[in-house]
Homo-oligomer: A and B are copies of this chain.
Amino acid sequence: MADGNRPAFEQEDEGGATLGPRFVASVVAALDAADGTQIRDLCAELHPADLADLIGLLNRDERRDLVALLGSLLTADVLSELDEGIRDDVLDQLDPKAVAAAISELDTDDAVYLLEDLDPEVQQEILKEVAPEDRTAVEQGLQYPEGSAGRLMQRELIAVPSYWTVGQVIDYMRETPDLPDDFYELIVVDPAYKPVGTVALSDLLRSRRAVIIEDIADTDVETIAVETDQEDVAYRFEQYGLVSAPVVDESGRLVGVIMVDDVVDIIAEEADEDIKRLGGVGDEDLSDTVVATTRYRFPWLVVNLATALLASWVISWFEGSIAQIVALAVLMPIVASMGGNAGTQSLTVAVRAIATKELTSLNSARVIWRETAVGLLNGVLFAVLMGAVAGFWFDSVPLGLVMAAAMVINMLAAGLAGVLIPVALDRLKIDPAVASSVFVTTVTDVVGFFAFLGLAALVLL
């Protein structure tokens, strides 16, 4: 599969295997000149994945021009590599017949990816141009929920009975024209078409023609149920170092196979999702418009506003104290900010450990204890530091002591909240990456302001 055309221009450009800015600039220049020959010369050597990236890097007008000029270079493989954000836009520009031709050429998982977000009428318009057997496969694929193994799998696979010989299998593969594009193992099935083993191609190659498949099959076969979530699929590939895995329906019958290159994309996607959720951004894309982006981000900011108002309300209880000692207003954001950061640290570790299945009900007590201890230790360290700074700055030992005590309390709360909140959300089957951070900072803001201002009111007034 190592068929990457690494274009020479990459070397002189930004480094790494990206499309360099000089190259893209020459494409844009050719587009401005509407020079189709030049465009096709530039793009002819690109790997489909790079050409798809190039299409994604351009703005909307340039993209439409490029798509119009590419002609036969816009292959089915290029279409299946397009980002979700621009895929539908490009398909919209193409003739349904051209899309149908691409669908016929692709493995089912890629064909389903092309069609999944189109309007049902447009889907039907395209599918009626596709040959019946391919159409059925794609239609069945579309019926599995997004993010399930059924969507990820391709139906193109090689299944053989266990009583065949190596020679029979090899002859079968030589004679069958319509085999999958890439495959690394055969699936051995029983008469009911249930997977009972796999044979790595390397083992097949090393065996003599007379050997019975049953004798070289690995019978510890890792099957995946068709409704399995893609995150679990990725976990299994990662954990067991798989390159492909058979997918079975409710009755255990073989219905497809998932390949590692699709799982690689899922792993990257799931990590991306976690990062974005922790950062309070949804499923947005760099190509989204300003209004769409604002709409994505607005709800999260509203939630944050509510928690900020809660913190302000706590401060308002102590207006009298602040009016008498303005230094409190100067220092209070430090307590909240340090708590927020310490909480984010605990939270990040906990969320990741939950995602990678390192933090489970088995060791959660130990991890909670550890975070509490870390919070306390950091709290004492920063209490000494900030107590001294506050005491000297405002020339008041009692103020320094109040600062120190509030620091210990808030760092402890941060450590505890940072681990308890994601663990609790996970138990409630809520993704801890989505909601943890707002709860944690609410705790550290409220506890921080209340501890500092409350202690100040008690001790200093």
Contact = CB atoms under 8 A, between A and B. Distances in A.
A206 to B, nearest CB: 5
A104 to B, nearest CB: 20
B242 A2 contact: yes
Contacts of A59: 366
A333 B445 contact: yes
Nearest to A433: B275
A42 interface: no
Nearest to A323: B326
A4 B378 CA distance: 43
A263 B1 CA distance: 15
A246 B4 CA distance: 12
Nearest to A321: B326
Interface stretch (A66-74, A136-144, A306-314): A306-314
A204 interface: yes
How often does this chain occur in the complex, in copies?
A: 2
A363 interface: yes
A373 B353 CA distance: 36
Most buried by B among A50, A183, A202, A342: A202
A304 B337 contact: yes
Given A208-B174, A361-B21, A445-B333, A220 B374 contact: no
A243 B327 CA distance: 62
Contacts of A205: 170, 173-174, 201, 204-205
Contact of A330 (B220, B237, B261, B312): B312
A223 to B, nearest CB: 8
A4 B220 contact: yes
Interface string A389-400: 100000000000
Interface stretch (A94-102, A114-122, A126-134, A380-388): A380-388
A49 B348 contact: no
A337 to B, nearest CB: 4
A267 interface: yes
A358 B363 CA distance: 39
Nearest to A262: B241
A455 interface: no
Interface string A345-372: 1011101110011111111001100100
A269 to B, nearest CB: 10
A204 B4 CA distance: 19
A116 B265 CA distance: 29
Most buried by B among A265, A280, A333: A333
Interface in A231-250: 232, 235-246
A29 interface: no
Given A201-B202, A263-B264, A308 B333 contact: yes
Interface string A260-287: 1101110110011011101111001010
A362 B24 contact: yes
A30 to B, nearest CB: 15
23 contacts: A1-B185, A1-B200, A1-B240, A2-B242, A17-B236, A21-B360, A21-B361, A47-B240, A170-B205, A182-B202, A237-B264, A238-B264, A267-B271, A272-B356, A275-B275, A294-B374, A294-B378, A294-B381, A300-B341, A312-B333, A328-B329, A329-B329, A337-B445
